[in-house]
Structure 1
Amino acid sequence: MLVTGFLEDGCPYQVQVTGQADRPIEGSARVRALVEQYSGKPVLLGPLGPRRTLDPGDSRAVVALLRQHTRVVEQRE
């Protein structure tokens, strides 16, 4: 899944969310570090839930994390 967006400081990014636990993100070291930082912590899959523990191999949870902590402008399967 290809995700394009902006980090909090306005820096643009484009990453491939792989769904692989050992390498969940390809394309941005900063976004990869964000996923590593929140790994094992709860993330909301939608605006009201459900809440799930972030597993780097769960692409849906990784995208939800990106939506919560960055400004996602495009997402393609």
Structure 2
Amino acid sequence: MRVIGTLEDGAAYDVEVTGREDRPVTGSRRVRALVEQCTGQPVLLGPLGPQRTLNATDTTAVLALLRDRTRVVEVRQ
């Protein structure tokens, strides 16, 4: 899935969320680092839940993290 958005400092990103363990996100080193830093931590899949532990292979949880920590502009399947 392709995700386009901006980071907190306004920098734009365009990444592919792959669902692969070795490289869960391609296209932005900063977004990849964010995912790696947050792996193993809980993330809310929606505004009120449910909560899931972030795993690099879980594309739904990675997208939820990006929606929480960045401003997601567009998601393409």
* Structure 2 length-normalised TM: 0.99
Could you tell me whether the CA contact under 8 Å between 1:35 and 1:56 is conserved in 2?
Answer: yes
Shift of 1:68: 0.2
Counterpart for residue 35 of structure 2: 35
Q: Are residue 12 (structure 1) and residue 12 (structure 2) matched? A: yes
Structure 1 gaps of 5+ residues are: none
Counterpart for residue 62 of structure 1: 62
What percentage of aligned pairs have identical amino acids?
A: 66
Runs (4+) of structure 1 moved beyond 6 Å? none
Alignment of 1:15-26 (within 5 A): 15-26=15-26
Shift of 1:29: 0.2
CA displacement, residues 6-39 of structure 1 (integer Å, 9 cap, x when unaligned): 0000000000000111110000000000000100
Could you tell me whether the CA contact under 8 Å between 1:21 and 1:58 is conserved in 2?
Answer: no
CA RMSD after TM alignment: 0.4
* Structure 1 length-normalised TM: 0.99
